[in-house]
Structure 1
Amino acid sequence: MNVNFWRNSVGLQPGDNWKKEIPAGILSYFASVYIVMVNAAILHDAGVPLRPAMVATLLTAITGCLLMAFGGKSPIIVVPGMGINAFFTYTLVHSMKLDWREAFAVVVVTGVLFAIVAFTSLYRILSEAIPRNLQHAITAGIGLFLTFIGLQKSGIVIAHQTTFVAIGHFSDPAVITSCVTLILALVLFIRGTRGGLLISMAAGTGLAYILGAAHKPEQTETGHVFTGYGGLFAGMDFGGLISLVFWIAVFLLLLIVVFENIGLIASQTLMAGRPERFKSSLRALSLANIAAGVFGSSPVVAAAESTAGIAAGGRSGLTPLVTGGLFGATFLFIPLLAYVPDSAIAPVLIVIGGLMLQSVREMELGDLTELFPAFLIMVMIPFTYSIVDGMAFGFIAYPIVKLAMGRGKEVPPALYGIAALFIANFVVHALMG
């Protein structure tokens, strides 16, 4: 009786082998645990204290995996999303000038709206309102943006007064470390080495200290790992709730979160042979996004690394349950993670950015009215250093070029409204200075 209850609670079906689920969960953990330091480093760029950001990332991942285990009952790992965390820091905070506490309020409100979308049929309507080319272009553009951030953090690319950017100084130990770590990360990842990105980060950290490219943190935090986290937990600031900028931020973040997760969950549940669990998985993920804002993290996604666990035999919620338990054990290592330098983190951003560029394969490139709006999104996101502004160029251009060719009926009605909102955003910013 108890055994059957346990099997049903995580979605184990007759024929599923729990002995495969446990190794699948362990593999998924080692494939995705790098996100703890990388996500914390990006949140730190927004002004969030580093150690509390690590705690928030872990609590968010644990909660997301548990919700997926018992709610989604799918072998999907839930962690803060790469690309979305860049949107949080470099767009919401740096470009749109929201305080990071206001940005966490945006995450919570977005999570609530995502839950409404996921628990109704709105997710289909919203997904169909945005042309596929634009959806894939957003993913590719964010990938290029992550790559650019990685190149900057590594010192491989530096600022230049005339050309804006230039190649870095290869006499710099940090640049040497980054290049070696990048080569190692690429080789391990392409060879399919388990935990390759984590291994490359560890090796890059060791090399950085050997070459003198990294130094012991000046202010090593003492005390319990949760020391200082109280100021981050439930630290949302809803003061900007009545401002237009706040709701523009919510709208854009909702688009990104919905599009990315619908695609990821659909492909992963299909790969696991459980497409019927799409709805339950999407709903579990939407609730995890609310928790992310409360804990003090950027939004979560169905991790691309979930495919490693699925390929190893993961078929049920037991896989993320095991992964979530291992994330819990990671609290023991938080003091050590503060020693990981940017030169070891940046190459991971570059590799992840390259992976996100694969979405170009799904795009329709033969139709110029589809190609150029998507092209504008991909190039303007990194070149404007703003995901919002990059999206705006493509979303405004799409209906214009369609109307110019007499093909206005091909534009979903909702897209005209979205384009108008982007134009309004530009006008507001122009009027504000």
Structure 2
Amino acid sequence: MLNQHSGQSSWKNEIVAGMIGYFTTVYIVAVNSQILESAGLPLQSGMTATILASAVGCLIMALYAKAPMILIPGMGINALFAYSIVESGGFSFQEGLGVVTAASAIFLLTAFTKLGEWLKHAIPESLKHAITVGLGLFLTLIGLEKGGLVVKGEHSLIQLGNPSSALVITSLITLFIAILLFVRNVPGNFLISMLIGTLIAKFTGVLNPQGSSLELSDQHWIMLPSFNEIGDFRFWMAVFPLAIVLIFENMGLIHGQLGMLNQEEKFKKSYQATAFSALFCGFLGTSPTVSSAESAASIASGAKSGRAALVTALLFLGTLFIIPWITMVPSTAISPILIIVGALMVQNIKHIPLVNLAEAMPAFLIIVMIPFTYSIADGMAFGFIAYPLVKFAIGKQKELSVPVVCIAMVFLVEFIMRSLGH
């Protein structure tokens, strides 16, 4: 039986909390698979990969860390994988999985050594929060694109989509409903808005009327990452930002969730479980899992141990049998979720000291350059390069840590090599 540290909870409470955790996170199956499809993975294979990664992640958390956190492919991280690493970076899907595996191995290294704690204190808070804000804006842009709310402009980079089109009207109605459910804190709001959005799409004629059937014999349950490019500097420049995001996002999420439980002593094992889960994702065919923000819903519902995570894992495995219906979910039902999650991530801007320009300007570059370059790695590069330059310019170079300077130099070298055609 799974142990729990404090605040004993019955199996009944844990089962209910695990079910609530599942229903607040199962939307990820449709959302993540659509993002993975942009990286070249067939939609149904993306759903299978997402389900297996979530189930495995929750099982590891339940059995190893004995904590109730729910692990699912991270929003923002999936965009980094699909759009920056594979689509813009020129890697194949299997090579992208190689990047995921290498980045997760670094993440795992920080989880079992003091390297993670060292990095945590060495990287400025303003840059860490700026990455989250930039990811939020990037997800918002993707959501607007998927819903047809913004399109490529004739005389500008982007412009408003046709307000009279069925696609835009459906997206706007679904977005309004999703926001209403979210601000009213309706349990399972993302799942409900996705279901309602699918029904609206059926009535407006933008729904794919027939989902594809599941052929278990055709599913690739295990994928082999490709390391053909491991000797290329470009490969490690893709690994680098992914590892940074994985390390800092999970540190913040796990710390906050264990704080809700008053079980801070479980941080080390929970962090390690998350790293193990991320590593498995490279072989399951998806971007890395993280401890989801929705874990708070499970915790608030009474989850105190790994038993709730175990229930969530089993429910995710059951989702394999409803894939044919999930494939019917249209992009108009997905886009509002991306927009709302983006809005939540942008809230981290309140942690950036905007009155201190030495901190604010490098952070601002990360925030704007991630969506404007359509590359999370390039956006991060601008901010990390600018940070030491600004500190040197105002004579505060003593405030710089060695990791920050090293990261800036790596990004600068990558820019120089790219400009020279390497």
Please, what TM-score do these two structures have when normalized by structure 2? 0.97
> 1:185 pairs with 174, 178, 184, which one?
178
1:170 alignment counterpart: 163
Residue 260 of structure 1: aligned partner: 249
Tell me what 1:249 maps to: 238
Hey, what's the Cα distance between the residues in 1 that align with 2:187 and 2:212? 32
1:141-185 C-alpha deviation (Å, 9 max, x unpaired) = 000000001001111111113221111111111111110111111
Asked if 1:110 corresponds to 2:99, the answer is no
Letter of the structure 1 residue corresponding to residue 37 of structure 2: H
Q: 1:305-359: per-residue Cα shift (whole Å, max 9, x none)?
A: 0000111111111111111111111111101111111111111100110011111
CA distance in 1, matches of 2:214, 2:326: 15
Letter paired with 2:232: S
Aligned residues: 422
Per-residue CA deviation, residues 229-274 of structure 1 (Å, 9 max, x unaligned), is 22x7223111111111111111111001001000000100111110
Partner of 2:266: 277
2:7–2:304 contact (8 Å) kept in structure 1: no
Other structure's SS at 1:239 match: coil
Instruction: Give the CA deviation at 1:223.
Output: 4.9
Which consecutive residues of structure 1, in runs of 5 or more, have no partner in the other structure?
1-5
Give, in angstroms, the shift of residue 222 of structure 1.
Answer: 4.0
Look up the match of 1:72: 65
What aligned pairs does 1:262-411 form with structure 2 within 5 A after superposition? 262-411=251-400
Question: Which segments of 5 or more consecutive residues in structure 2 lack a partner in the other structure?
Answer: none
User: For the Cα contact (< 8 Å) 1:174–1:214, is it kept in 2?
Assistant: no
Give secondary structure in 1 for the equivalent of 2:54: helix
Q: Which moved more, 1:358-367 or 1:391-400?
A: 358-367
| Cα shift readout 1:27-60 (whole Å, capped 9, x = no counterpart) | 1111110000100000000000111110010000
Tell whether the 8 Å contact from 2:103 to 2:242 is kept in structure 1 after alignment: yes
Q: For the Cα contact (< 8 Å) 1:77–1:323, is it kept in 2?
A: yes
Residue of structure 1 equivalent to 2:20: 27
Q: Which amino acid aligns with 2:345?
A: M
Aligned counterpart in structure 1 of residue 401 of structure 2, from 393, 412, 431: 412
Kept in 1, the 8 Å contact 2:83–2:375? The answer is: yes
Residue of structure 2 equivalent to 1:429: 418
Q: Using the alignment, how far apart are the partners of 2:217 and 2:150 within structure 1?
A: 36
Query: 2:2, 2:66 within 8 Å by CA — same for their partners in 1?
Result: no
In the alignment, is the contact (CA less than 8 A) between 1:7 and 1:13 conserved in 2?
no
- The letter of the residue matching 2:176 is I
Q: Name the CA distance, whole Å, in 2 between partners of 1:100 and 1:211.
A: 34
Deviations 1:279-325 (A, max 9, x none): 00000010001111100010111000000011111111111111111
RMSD after superposition: 1.3
Distance 1:96 1:212 in 2: 36
Q: Which residue of 179, 201, 219 maps to 1:229?
A: 219
Question: What is the CA–CA distance in structure 1 between the aligned matches of 2:7 and 2:330, rounded to whole Å?
Answer: 47
Q: Give the CA deviation at 1:18.
A: 3.3
The runs of at least 4 aligned residues of structure 1 exceeding 6 Å deviation read none
Q: In the aligned structure 2, how far is the partner of 1:194 from the partner of 1:227? A: 36
From 190, 199, 205, the counterpart of 1:197? 190
Q: Percent identity?
A: 44
On the 8 A contact 2:60/2:277 being kept in 1, the answer is yes
Q: Cα offset for 1:413? A: 1.5
Residue identity matched to 1:273? N
User: Which amino acid counterpart does residue 155 of structure 2 have in structure 1?
Assistant: T
| 1:17 to partner: Cα distance | 3.5
For 1:81-230, list aligned pairs within 5 A: 81-216=74-209, 221-224=212-215, 226-230=216-220
Q: What SS class does the counterpart of residue 131 from structure 2 fall into?
A: helix
Secondary structure, in 3 states, of the residue corresponding to 1:364?
coil
